[in-house]
Amino acid sequence: MRILLMSTSVGPFGSGIGGGVELTIYNLAQELMARSHQIQLVAPVGSSADTLALTTIPGEVHPFAQNESRSADIRVPARSVLNAMWQFAQTLQHSYDLILNFAYDWLPFYLTPFFDTPVAHFVSMGSLLDPIDDLIRQCAHRFPHRLGAYTQTQADTFGLGLPWQILSSGIDLNLYEYQPQAEPALAWVARIAPEKGLEDAAAAAAATGLELRILGKMQDESYWQWVQSQVPAAQLTYLGFHPTPVMQAHLGRCQGLLMTPKWIEAFGNVAIEALACGVPVISYARGAHRNHQTWQDRLFSGTRWH
Ligand code: HBI
């Protein structure tokens, strides 16, 4: 098939601002091309995607849905890059058999019935904003099986009984190497942002006396400063945002990965990346992690870790 992939609206593809959904888009595109489908990615200007056919579109990126209040009106930037991306998609829709949306935004769901070419959606987060939830439910009823989610746990946050395709997530195991020797350090890999709960990982590192090696996009500098002020005893080493080969080399040298989400993590790609490197995962029994292997019943008072 000829498939048009429409990227996330929050930042350029490859910048790390889109978090796990960037890895999902890249891995899906690689596998679809390996199966002889023709793939074209549309993303904001400034994007880079090595072997992928890419069209970049100028415009203003969108505010993060997770930072908006649940019942607030939808905010669209004046020169929204997403509006421009979907206008572009409309002009060339007849050259494609399928359009796949990866943005968690109002517009692509609203436009679904207005396109001749079928539009399907990979929803990358759990329920966050009422106006988008309403649209997703409308899409589900009007176009059953056009909605993909990582996990049933994530899908259920939009209400029970909707016809989701549960797609899980996958990684290219050739990119991850097992390292037999671990150094006395724990790892934390995510966008540096409040919904990821870095302060809890810092507290765990302080409690164990282990260095915490932090990898991921520096999304919220003031939050990073706050975490350091909250846990002065923790030895926190920020290693930056890196492409998979470099990230997994750091991750593989650690004794364990801490996952401390404050929201319903839709999947948590880094959990399977750590396991691919032979690194045990310590996470909350919340969100998609409940599906992952249990590692330890309780680590802190009252906090159930899995
Ligand atoms: N917020 N408005 C908006 N649109 C997105 O596509 C989006 C987002 N927040 C986070 C996000 N995408 C991705 O980082 C997660 O889906 C992984």
Task: Determine if ligand 1 sits within 6 Å of the CB of residue 62.
Answer: yes
Which residue in 135, 57, 148, 137 sits closest to 100, CA to CA?
148
The values of phi and psi at residue 55, to 5°, are -115, 125
CA distance 183 to 239: 15
CA separation (Å) from 33 to 21, 170, 266?
18, 15, 25
**Tell me: the pLDDT tens digits for 160-181?**
999 999 999 999 999 999 999 9
CA distance 32 to 37: 5
8 Å CB contact between 57 and 50:
no
Atom index in ligand 1 nearest the CA of residue 21 equals: 17
Residue numbers in the chain where pLDDT is lower than 50: 291-306
What pLDDT score does 118 carry? 98
101 CA from centroid of ligand 1 (Å)? 12
Residue 100 within a domain:
yes
What pLDDT score does 288 carry? 64
Residue 246 within a domain:
yes
Count, in order, helices (H) and strands (E) of the chain.
9, 14
What pLDDT score does 303 carry? 40
**249 and 161 assigned to the same domain:** no
Which are the contacts of 156, defined by CB distance < 8 A and separation ≥ 6?
none
Residue 306 within a domain:
no
Ligand 1 pocket mutation pick from 64, 69, 189 by most atoms within 8 angstroms of CB: 64
**232 and 275 assigned to the same domain:** yes
What pLDDT score does 289 carry? 54
Which residue in 156, 218, 214, 159 sits closest to 193, CA to CA?
218
Domain with 6, as residue range(s), is 2-166
Q: DSSP character for 46? A: T
**23 and 53 assigned to the same domain:** yes
Atom index in ligand 1 nearest the CA of residue 64 equals: 1
Atom index in ligand 1 nearest the CA of residue 8 equals: 6
Ligand 1 pocket mutation pick from 76, 125, 167, 195 by most atoms within 8 angstroms of CB: 125
Q: Among 119, 150, 166, identify where a domain stops.
A: 166
Which residue in 265, 266, 257, 254 sits closest to 201, CA to CA?
257
**123 and 220 assigned to the same domain:** no
**159 and 177 assigned to the same domain:** no
Q: Among 131, 166, 201, identify where a domain stops.
A: 166
CA separation (Å) from 103 to 81, 90, 160, 249?
11, 16, 22, 29
8 Å CB contact between 207 and 266:
no
> Could you tell me the two tokens for 12?
């350029």
**162 and 177 assigned to the same domain:** no
**85 and 144 assigned to the same domain:** yes
CATH of the domain at 102: 3.40.50.2000
| C-alpha triplet 118, 100, 46: angle, nearest 5° | 140
What pLDDT score does 263 carry? 85
Strand segments (E) across the chain:
2-6, 38-44, 54-57, 98-101, 119-123, 147-149, 165-166, 183-189, 211-215, 236-240, 254-259, 281-283, 298-300, 303-304
> Could you tell me the two tokens for 5?
């992939």
88 CA from centroid of ligand 1 (Å)? 20
What pLDDT score does 286 carry? 74
As for how many domains the chain has, the answer is 2
3-state secondary structure of 165: strand
What pTM, to 2 d.p., does this model score? Answer: 0.89
Task: Determine if ligand 1 sits within 6 Å of the CB of residue 227.
Answer: no
**71 and 146 assigned to the same domain:** yes
Which are the contacts of 91, defined by CB distance < 8 A and separation ≥ 6?
none
Q: Among 117, 149, 166, identify where a domain stops.
A: 166
Task: Determine if ligand 1 sits within 6 Å of the CB of residue 217.
Answer: no
Which are the contacts of 46, defined by CB distance < 8 A and separation ≥ 6?
11, 12, 15, 56
Residue 44 within a domain:
yes
> Could you tell me the two tokens for 16?
């790390």
What pLDDT score does 270 carry? 95
Task: Determine if ligand 1 sits within 6 Å of the CB of residue 124.
Answer: yes
**39 and 151 assigned to the same domain:** yes
